[in-house]
C-alpha cells in the first residue's frame, strides 16, 4: 500500500521535524525540570496521544478533502510552509526570552499520572508545528493510485509517533537528570530556541518546494 521509498522519505522528514525543539518538547522539559523523570515520561506519552489525534483528524477529514483537490493541496501546503517559517522567525527573535524559570512555572505539587497525561494530550493536539506538519506534509506521501488514503495516513502517522516516543522521552529523561545543568544558564535554552528557529525556517522552505509524491 505504502511503498518503501515513500515510507523512508516520510520517516526522514518526520525525524527532521521532531528533532527540532518545539512547544511540546519545551513542555516536556519544563515538566522534567519541575517534577522529575516520572512526570516527564507521562507528559511525553500524553503528547504523543494528542499528536496521533491530529493524524486521525487529518486522515478522516482534512486529508480526504486535500486528496480530492490539487488546488486545495497547494493552498494547504503553502499555508503550512509559511506558518513554519513564521514559527521559525518567532523562535529566533524571542530566543533570549526563554528562561528556566518560565519553563518551570509557578511552584506547584506534582499531579497524578492521569492528569499529567491529559495535560500532555492537550499540548500535543494544540501544537502548531504538529498541526501544520500533518495537514501540509502527510498528504504528500500517500499513494493516491492505491486507494485507501485515510488508512495510509493512519499508518504513516505511526512513524512520527514512534520517533517521538523515543526522542521526547529522551528529552524528558535528559532534562530530569540534568536539572542543575539547565538551571545554571538561561543561555543554553536560548541556543536551543535559536537553532530550532533556523531549522523551522529551513523546513518551511522545503515544504513549499516539494510537491505530491505521486
Closest to 28 measured CA to CA, from 100, 110, 123 = 123
Closest to 207 measured CA to CA, from 66, 4, 6, 16 = 16
Question: Per residue in 94-138, pLDDT tens?
Answer: 766 655 555 554 444 455 778 888 888 887 887 777 877 888 788
Within-domain flag for 172:
yes
| pTM of the predicted model as reported, rounded to 2 decimal places | 0.66
Interval 9-19 mean pLDDT: 85
Within-domain flag for 119:
yes
- Which three-class secondary structure state does DSSP give residue 171? helix
- The answer on pLDDT for 73 being more than 50 is yes
Within-domain flag for 86:
yes
Within-domain flag for 50:
yes
- Cell matching residue 86: 513564521
Distance between CA atoms of residues 74 and 3, nearest Å: 23
C-alpha atoms less than 13 angstroms from C-alpha of 135 in its C-beta half-sphere: 23
Within-domain flag for 214:
no
Find the angle CA(206)-CA(208)-CA(214) to the nearest 5 degrees: 90
Within-domain flag for 88:
yes
C-alpha atoms less than 13 angstroms from C-alpha of 92 in its C-beta half-sphere: 12
Q: Which has the higher per-residue pLDDT, 211 or 60?
A: 60
Within-domain flag for 170:
yes
Identify the pLDDT of residue 158.
93
The count of domains in the chain is: 1
Supply the Cα-derived Rg of the chain in whole angstroms.
18
Within-domain flag for 188:
yes
Domain range for 24 is 4-209
Kindly give, in sequence order, each residue whose CB lies less than 8 Å from that of residue 116, ignoring residues fewer than 6 positions away. Answer: 31, 39, 42, 43, 46
Amino acid at each position: 500500500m505504502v511503498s518503501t521509498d515513500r515510507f523512508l522519505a516520510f520517516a526522514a522528514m518526520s525525524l527532521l521535524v521532531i528533532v527540532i525543539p518545539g512547544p511540546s518538547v519545551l513542555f516536556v522539559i519544563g515538566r522534567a525540570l519541575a517534577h522529575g523523570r516520572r512526570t516527564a515520561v507521562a507528559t511525553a506519552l500524553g503528547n504523543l496521544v494528542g499528536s496521533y489525534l491530529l493524524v486521525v483528524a487529518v486522515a478522516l477529514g482534512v486529508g480526504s478533502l486535500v486528496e480530492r483537490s490539487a488546488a486545495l493541496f497547494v493552498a494547504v501546503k503553502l499555508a503550512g510552509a509559511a506558518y513554519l517559517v513564521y514559527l521559525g522567525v518567532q523562535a529566533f527573535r524571542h530566543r533570549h526570552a526563554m528562561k528556566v524559570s518560565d519553563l518551570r512555572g509557578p511552584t506547584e505539587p506534582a499531579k497524578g499520572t492521569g492528569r499529567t497525561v491529559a495535560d500532555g494530550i492537550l499540548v500535543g493536539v494544540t501544537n502548531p508545528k504538529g498541526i501544520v506538519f500533518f495537514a501540509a506534509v502527510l498528504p504528500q506521501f500517500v499513494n493516491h493510485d492505491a486507494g485507501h488514503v485515510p488508512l495510509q495516513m493512519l499508518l504513516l502517522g505511526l512513524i512520527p509517533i514512534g520517533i517521538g516516543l523515543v526522542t521526547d522521552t529522551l528529552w524528558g529523561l535528559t532534562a530530569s537528570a540534568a536539572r542543575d545543568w539547565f538551571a545554571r544558564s538561561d543561555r543554553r535554552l536560548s541556543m536551543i530556541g535559536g537553532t530550532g528557529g533556523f531549522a523551522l525556517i529551513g523546513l518551511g522552505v522545503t515544504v513549499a518546494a516539494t510537491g505530491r509524491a505521486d
